Chains A and B, each alone.
Chain A
């Protein structure tokens, strides 16, 4: 107990020293400011050219996959249902990082070599597809059966009723949970650094490796992720308000 307390106070002392060194030593402060300034542009480049495109492409592909998987689950056709179930179970039951490693480092063994960026896109899309398919399935099932029947009664077929009547209503229900998936995806793209995609977090690692300012660089990267996610939650709020216009308040 005593030793633990001693260790803690020692660590607090170290933090104090670090902060002191910043605020009492003008040279130290200047060095950090310089590094922060000069690394901001590379980090933003990593975000703009890799993190954000990776997120957007993976989410779009993943969402398509998710809708198809949800429809397969609800199709009433046994083989399709089973394939969908196995896919969702396998993706949800294994770590994302392991999946990325299998795609990028594993597949070359059997002659399939995929570049880092497409590997990441495949991994993230499969992941979003599995998680979001459950959201979409629940949302479709939450729409009353009478809506399908009303569509059929004016002569619609399954596809027309699905596209015009059911999915627009289901999308309203699924925006909050899908936004969760989307925001998780933004942060999960940092895992792509492990398969050599030079996205924002890998840039931060590379810069920190040259000047040893790990705390500064990783905090800087964290802040940029936060800003991106903050903007996304504002967008989510707007979409929700827009889709709520036909619901009584």
Chain B
């Protein structure tokens, strides 16, 4: 589903990604872990082209973007629509209700009728457990509820891949469970997911593969049990000791 080859990203002189090669098969869930500054969030943002990679290529489904050439804007929005993004700080539209947040993409970008989009948005919000909060504004919702609206908003565009950028790090501990449940449900439905997160439990229960990144490269990858219990690389061991 996703094939990334030789991806690099430089911010001025700082090379944040130093040649990433990664493949994610359809329906698999990949959890990316790594210390702060390791480039894991940048990798995710590159897949969504919120950051334009410096070189390398990304293929999702059948469309490929090669960043050694300039990529036209039209192609970027088309490519972006293959992925859905869930942000650490939710980034809900504060001037729209939960329902309107989810409808916005289908109505404005896909030009769906609002009756149709509203019905679909209602279903998605019910699915993430917010069927009774349709007409609430973001400020009236808890962090966990806001994040679930964020998930529904991304799903409304029917992406082939869902990207999660530390979706639970801004949440109070008691609110994390509901968000992780929504993500696990999504994984069990066969959604292809790339998740930047340090939620070990989620990784153990839902991930097919865990990737450890440090200083812009992938250090180690493997099944969750293997990475968490018997990491091969020294840097992985050090990192896991620090967070456990």
- The answer to whether A153 touches B93 (Cβ under 8 A) is no
In chain A, what residue has the closest Cβ to B153?
A154
Q: Which residues of the other chain, B, contact A146 by a CB distance below 8 angstroms? A: 87, 89, 91
Q: Evaluate contact between B89 and A247: CB separation under 8 angstroms.
A: no
Give B155 Cβ to nearest chain A Cβ, in Å: 10
Determine whether the beta carbon of B94 is less than 8 Å from that of A154: no
Q: How far is the CB of A192 from chain B (nearest CB, A)?
A: 37
Q: Tell me the A165-222 residues at the B interface (CB within 8 Å).
A: 165, 168-169, 172
Contact of A149 among B81, B91, B138, B139 (CB under 8 A): B91
**Inter-chain contact total with CB atoms closer than 8 Å:** 68
Nearest CB in chain B: distance from A105 CB, A: 47
Does the CB pair B80–A153 fall under 8 Å? yes
Which of A25-33, A60-68, A155-163 participates in binding chain B?
A: A155-163
Shortest Cβ gap from B164 to chain A (Å): 12
- The answer, yes or no, to whether B22 is at the interface (CB within 8 Å) is no
Q: Is the interface of A mostly helix, strand, loop or mixed?
A: helix
Q: How many residues of chain A have a CB within 8 Å of chain B?
A: 21
Task: Give the distance to chain A from B8, nearest Cβ to Cβ, in Å.
Answer: 21
Separation of A150 and B105 alpha carbons in the complex (Å): 10
Please, which residues of chain A bring their CB within 8 A of the CB of B156? 154
Knowing A168-B95, A247-B139, say if A155 contacts B87 (CB, 8 Å): no
> Which B180-233 residues sit within 8 Å CB-CB of chain A?
none
Choose one: A155, A164, A169; the contact of B94 (CB below 8 Å): A169
B104 interface residue per 8 A CB criterion: yes
Residue in A156, A245, A247 whose CB lies within 8 Å of B108: A156
* Nearest neighbor of B88 in chain A, beta-carbon distance: A146
Q: Could you tell me the distance between the alpha carbons of A149 and B94 in the complex, rounded to whole angstroms? A: 14
The 8 Å CB contact of A156, one of B84, B94, B109, B140, is B109
**Given A149, A164, A168, A248, which contacts B87 in the complex, CB threshold below 8 Å?**
A149
**Central interface residue in A149, A154, A168, by most chain B CB within 10 Å:** A154
Q: 3 smallest A-B Cβ distances: which pairs?
A: A154-B105, A150-B91, A153-B85
A to B CB contacts below 8 Å, 29 in the list? A146-B87, A149-B50, A149-B85, A149-B91, A150-B85, A150-B92, A152-B77, A152-B80, A153-B50, A153-B87, A154-B104, A154-B156, A155-B80, A155-B109, A155-B110, A155-B157, A156-B77, A156-B105, A156-B108, A160-B108, A164-B104, A172-B95, A246-B94, A246-B95, A246-B137, A246-B138, A247-B94, A248-B139, A248-B140
Chain A interface (Cβ within 8 Å of chain B)? 144, 146-147, 149-150, 152-157, 160, 164-165, 168-169, 172, 245-248
Chain B residues near A (Cβ < 8 Å) = 48, 50, 73, 77, 80-81, 83-85, 87, 89, 91-96, 104-105, 108-110, 137-140, 153-154, 156-157
